Amino acid sequence: MSDPPRHASAGPDTAVDESQLEELITEAQTALPFELSALANRCASALGLDTVLIYLVDLQQRLLIPLDEALEPLLVAGSLAGWARTAPSLREWPTPTTA
């Protein structure tokens, strides 16, 4: 299993509609699980991003299961997505290594 595809981040010139983000956050509080992907992609669009991938962890906390059925599950241990899920802080982001 491999890490999910990387997505471009919003550039410094991207204007963010904060009122739209507030509405989306409010909507997320009552969203049903099957509505999360569309809601997350609307949030991404408001931030100037293309798409968002959502993974749910299984009960044993060994696999990250994508809401997008076209993608494969990821192992929590050893994947960047798994590390991000368990990292205590964004400040501890690992430095990419090249092989």
What is the tens place of the pLDDT at every residue in 33-59? Answer: 788 888 888 888 888 888 788 888 899
- Mean per-residue pLDDT of the chain: 76
Q: Which residues pair with 65 in a beta bridge?
A: 56
**H-only helix segments in the chain:** 18-28, 36-46, 80-86
Asked whether residue 73 carries a pLDDT value surpassing 90, the answer given is yes
Could you give the CA distance from residue 69 to residue 66 in angstroms, rounded to a whole number? Answer: 7
Q: What is the Cα–Cα distance from 99 to 91, expressed in whole angstroms?
A: 24
For the sheet containing 55-57, what is the strand order?
A: 55-57, 63-66, 74-75
Beta-bridge mates of residue 14: none
77: which residues sit within 8 A by CB, 6+ positions away? 62
This model's pTM is above 0.85: no
